[in-house]
Amino acid sequence: MFNVAAVDVTKTFREGREIVTVLKGATLHLAPGEVLALEGPSGSGKTTLLSILGCLLSASGGTVEIAGHLVDAKKPAKLQALRRRHIGFVFQQFNLFPALSALENVEYALNLKGVTGNDATQQARELIERVGLADRARFLPRDLSGGQKQRVAIARALAASPSVVLADEPTANLDVNVAGQILDLFSELARSEGRSLLIVTHDPKVRRVADRVVRIEDGRIAA
Amino acid sequence: MVDLGLKTLLHDKVRFLITVSGVAFAVTLVLVQVGLFVGLLDNSTITIRKLDAELWVTSKNSPNLDFVHQFPESNLYRARSVPGVERADNLILSFMQVSLPTGAEETTIVYAMEDFQRWGIPWQVTQGKLDDLKRGAFVIFDESASKRFGKFEVGDYREVMGQRLKVSGKTREAKSFTTTPLAFMDFRRAQALQPELLEGKTSYIVVKVATGADVAVVKAELERRLPYNDVFTSQAWAERSRAYWVENTGIGFNAFLTVFLGCLVGVVVVAQTLYTSTMEHLKEFGTVKAIGGSNLDIYRMLGKQATVAAVVGFVLGYLPAQLLKPVIASAGLKLIIAPELTLVVLLGTVLLCLGSALISFRKVASIDPALVFRS
């Protein structure tokens, strides 16, 4: 049983009169508790694959299953439900809501996932504590450092216990020491609860925490 | 629940201030213009509403209260003989010239009756007694006349149609549509001032219907017995008079144009600021979708932002409109902001602001979800 099972996934885009094939039959599996690093040069299809696995983009061909559910691109409501229940995201640019405090950023994600009221506040507080930001819970993102922002983003990604966490270059905007701490925290939190963690990266430090490293080149998983 | 929409709206305080200022400006503009319009229309028929009569007998095809021609005063007796008529009286309404001490001349609208008191007009006598009008060459002017005629006091003399009349009292709120002040005098006095026009003539017969009598039946009988006159209920006569001013003077079109421009300003400001805000927050909306939100969640957020901007803008626009009332009154005009108008403007503001958010809705619906991964 895999949390992510992508088989022979293809994706084509129309650019003017040309049809560009970005993914040419990518196959990828992630077991529960597994941390996978996905590396590849720019334009190799990393972000496209991540978008498809995150149910943000539909594949042109092949099949994708998330937590045992077949992803059907023709049913947008089902895609949204999959994102809501089973997927957490961490972004390179953090993508925190600037008007919300650290705690509220996490609480809002919980609200969207159906957790409301005191339960949401309590769970958000616990997540913020787990990423070591209890004393910064009421701070707005503009008052947090890059590492602290990424911790909030990790707490938000873990809201409502998704089966799969997808991270896009989570250490790209952090200094070396902070990046190491974030990766340790991130992988530990993922593994401890049996989540699958896919990290798209150029950063060689990610290899240290990854169970497996796969490379994507020219739209295909190379190794 | 964390209210992302509201917090985002209030987070950028300058933008929020610009948005609500635009709405407030539009609301003030609409309330003041429509309020003035309603005030003028109120003036135009205030005597119809205040006079205690159910029916008005007018000259044939009279367009409105102020523009009538005369008919024989003896028609009154035929009116009085109609079953169901409790009482009926002649009423003269005529424009007369007042010579001012400066040598200039001004116009006043004279209302003349034999017994004002039992018909309930003038409705606010601030000085003097109505009964005095019967006792000699007396006239009562409305206080608003001081703006045009210069200051005057009870006991002063004014020349009306070349004859000296003593000012025996003052009234309040008796103004016409054009804000020309009203004057009140005895019926025979008015006829004597304009004999060539008014001798043996009247402008109206006002009719009080007896308790229990059917107004429609009395009206029909009056129409039968006075075939060269028209008969209106007071409500129909007021509506006809107001319609004349609205349709024939351009004031209606002017009011419509102002309301349209006010709405346009509000819509443009709100639509522009919401759209700019949406464009700047596209990535945040993409993030909302990525973490499990739907387009509907984002529409609700934008809708709430538009509604809050509308309500706050309305309050900020409503207060200056109310504060302008005494200023406008000092200029001799009436600003009427009725609860119905307030409610309509509030609902209109909310609806227009929500409409303005539709452009943003379209943009949100077309967000590329992969936007969240871009630097």
Judge residue A100's burial from the number of C-beta atoms within 10 Å of its C-beta, 0-12 exposed, 13-18 middle, 19 or more buried.
buried
> Which residues of A fall below an 8 Å CB-CB distance to B?
47-48, 50-51, 54, 56-57, 77, 80, 83-85, 88-89, 91-93, 95, 97-100, 104, 107-109, 111-113, 116-117, 120, 156, 159, 168
Rounded distance between C-alpha atoms, residue B4 and residue B360, angstroms: 16
Nearest CA in chain B to A168: B373
CB A35 within 8 A of CB A199: yes
DSSP string, B238-304: HHHHHHHHHHHSSHHHHHHHHHHHHHHHHHHHHHHHHHHHHHHTHHHHHHHHHTT--HHHHHHHHHH
Q: Is the pLDDT of residue B137 over 70?
A: yes
Domain ranges of chain B: 4-43+250-373, 61-227
Determine the distance in angstroms separating the CA of A155 from the nearest CA of chain B, rounded to an integer. Answer: 12
Q: What percent of chain B has pLDDT over 90?
A: 54
Answer whether B294 sits within 8 Å of A168, measured CB to CB: no
Any CB–CB contact under 8 A between B369 and chain A?
yes
Q: Which residue is it, tokens 């019967």?
A: B134
* CA–CA distance, B193 with B199 (Å, rounded to integer): 9
Contact B336, B10 (CB under 8 A): no
Supply the pLDDT for residue B375: 65
Residue B375 at interface with chain A, using a CB cutoff of 8 Å: yes
Between B10, B284, B290, which is nearest A97 by CB?
B284
Domains of chain A from N-terminus onward: 35-55+82-221 (3.40.50.300)
- Note the pLDDT tens digit of each residue in B165-206: 999 999 988 887 777 889 999 999 999 999 999 999 999 999
Residues 6+ apart with CB under 8 A from A35: A187, A190, A191, A196, A197, A199, A209, A210, A211, A212
Any A CB within 8 A of B370 CB: yes
The pLDDT of residue A223 = 58
CA-based nearest residue to A166, from A83, A113, A87: A87
**Around Cβ B28, how many Cβ atoms within 10 Å?**
22
Specify the higher pLDDT residue, B340 or A223: B340
User: Residue B326: which H helix or E strand, with range?
Assistant: helix B295-330
Provide DSSP, A66-101.
ETTEEP-TT-HHHHHHHHHHHEEEE-TT----TTS-
DSSP 3-state of A32 = coil
With contacts defined as CB-CB under 8 Å, which chain A residues touch B287? 89, 91, 95, 97
Q: B295: Cβ–Cβ under 8 A, 6 or more apart, which residues?
A: B289, B364, B365
Among A208-217, B21-30, B127-136, B357-366, name the one with the lowest average pLDDT.
Answer: B357-366
For chain B, the straight-line distance linking the first and the last C-alpha, in angstroms and rounded, comes to 29
A&B contacts, CB < 8 Å? 82
Predicted complex ipTM exceeds 0.85 = yes
Q: What residues of chain B lie within 8 A of the CB of A44, using their CB?
A: none
Task: Mutation target for A interface from B6, B295, B373: give the one with most A CBs within 10 A.
Answer: B373
Tell me the percentage of chain B whose pLDDT exceeds 70.
99
**Closest by Cα among B314, B307, B372 to B21:** B314
- Give CA angle at B366 (B307, A159), nearest 5°: 75
In this prediction, residues A69-77 reach a mean pLDDT of 85
* Cβ pair A92:B373 closer than 8 A: yes
Q: Per DSSP, what are the bridge partners of residue A196?
A: A164
Among all residues of chain B, which has the CA nearest to that of A170? Answer: B373
pLDDT at residue B370 tops 80? no
Whether the model clears a pTM of 0.80, i.e. scores above it, the answer is no
- Centre a 10 Å sphere on the Cβ of residue A164 and count the other Cβ atoms it contains: 25
| HSE, side-chain direction, 13 A CA sphere, residue A133 | 33
